[in-house]
Structure 1
Amino acid sequence: MIKNFLEQLRIQRWDDHRYYHHSRINQSLHFVSAISFLIGYVYMFIDPVFSALIGWLVSMTSRQAGHFFFEPRGYDHINHATHEHKEDIKVGYNLRRKVVLMSIWAASPVVLYFDPTLFGLVKPWASSADFMRQVAKIWLVVGIGGLLFRTVHLFFIKDVETGLVWMTKIITDPFNDFKLYHKAPLALLRGELIDPGLDILEHGLELEEKTA
């Protein structure tokens, strides 16, 4: 069972890499995101509110900016797949779902500003510092809620294992992204805007040999 879990985790990580990380700018932003997420993980044990600010203001914004603005949307010749096909088979949050999640994130400070009690759910903020800490607490709930919501959703539309594998992938992504994309900034400085995909081709050949 553990062996199958780890294999499914490997597959989800690999599909995410080969389908959604062609741009060297996107990879570099994921490297920045990974570093800041790891710092945020440390601060979860020190100051969870500050950790939420790091997670959303640095980690998530850099990560999603890479996907929204720099990742190619055209036909994927390396994987022989359209963008629409990749969006349909995406296990976690595809771009449409990310728009919803990021909209909730962006709207929450506005709602809190006009209703300091957030419909009676929180203590009213009395200063700018109080406001930021309240916002950070909301963002912490949004982050954890988004993770749990999609995990449970996958329980029903896929199966329990798929949901747990995806949750594990998301939590461990900063470690994996650091390993995968630490060379991306140097490649970008050399003028390489798109990953040539040699690792994807080599891995595909390995899979074909194993299944032949």
Structure 2
Amino acid sequence: MTGFREQLAEQRWDDHRFYHHSLVNQTLHFVSACTFMVAYAILWVDPAVASLLAWGVAMTSRQAGHFFFEPKGYDHVNAATHDHKEEIKIGYNLQRKWVLMSLWLAVPLVLLLQPTLWGALLPADGVEGYLRHVGIGWLVLGVGAIAFRSVHLFFIRDVETGLVWATKIVTDPFSDFRLYKGAPRRLLKGERMDYPDGSPA
């Protein structure tokens, strides 16, 4: 169990130091963390609404931070190129995230064209019914994405690495809340980057 906790701490630290230099990104992760925690609470009452909130607000803000605000140049703090960091990323790097977010966009489009999903679903009752179908579709996608990458890691790394990564992903909202709760204040003060030694990207 000690090894599991150490791996979890290492994966969290690598994720933070490699992929969260931008205070805009950190602030968006804080917003995402707050939203995910609300979605976790709602999940037990209304899974469809929880999923709409998680994917519609938490995931979009989170991924926007990575796609649009995080520097893609040479990382002087960690002495690593962007390509190197993408190669060693344990979870979903930007290329894999493009695939995941494309599937996310595909769910409502498919349900718009095939409301019953070729007979697998009951017909949606108006807009609310359609959105509930989308929410459940996104929930299945989210669980499937975590399961798929975890099992993939079982084969390309080992079982423990896959389980640690899955644990990290599920608990990221709580970790991100703690790590990035000060980011909005720093951003409002005019800071833009979070480098321990003040180095440029």
**Structure 1, residues 40-59: CA drift from partner, whole Å, max 9, x if none?**
01001111111101100010
Structure 2's unaligned 5+ residue stretches are none
Q: Which residue of 2 aligns with 1:202?
A: none
**Structure 1, residues 158-197: CA drift from partner, whole Å, max 9, x if none?**
1000000000000110000000000000110111111122
Percent identity for Structure 1 against Structure 2: 59
Secondary structure at the aligned position of 1:123 is classed as coil
Secondary structure at the aligned position of 2:95 is classed as helix
Q: Which residue of 1 aligns with 2:73?
A: 74
Q: Return the letter of the residue paired with 2:195.
A: P
1:169 aligns with 2:168: yes
CA distance in 2 between counterparts of 1:131 and 1:56 reads 16
Instruction: Output the aligned Cα RMSD.
Output: 1.0
Q: Which residue of 1 aligns with 2:19?
A: 20
Alignment of 1:113-132 (within 5 A): 113-132=112-131
CA distance in 1 between counterparts of 2:22 and 2:97 reads 19
Query: TM-score normalized by structure 2?
Result: 0.96
CA distance in 1 between counterparts of 2:120 and 2:196 reads 49
Instruction: Quote the offset at 1:198 in angstroms.
Output: 4.4
Q: Which residue of 1 aligns with 2:182?
A: 183
CA distance in 1 between counterparts of 2:185 and 2:149 reads 35
**Structure 1, residues 13-43: CA drift from partner, whole Å, max 9, x if none?**
0000000000000000000000000000100
Count of paired positions: 198
Q: Return the letter of the residue paired with 2:56.
A: L
1:5 aligns with 2:4: yes
Q: Which residue of 2 aligns with 1:210?
A: none
- The 4+ residue runs of structure 1 with deviation greater than 4 A are none
Instruction: Quote the offset at 1:117 in angstroms.
Output: 1.3
Structure 1's unaligned 5+ residue stretches are 200-212
Instruction: Quote the offset at 1:116 in angstroms.
Output: 1.0
Q: Return the letter of the residue paired with 1:53.
A: L
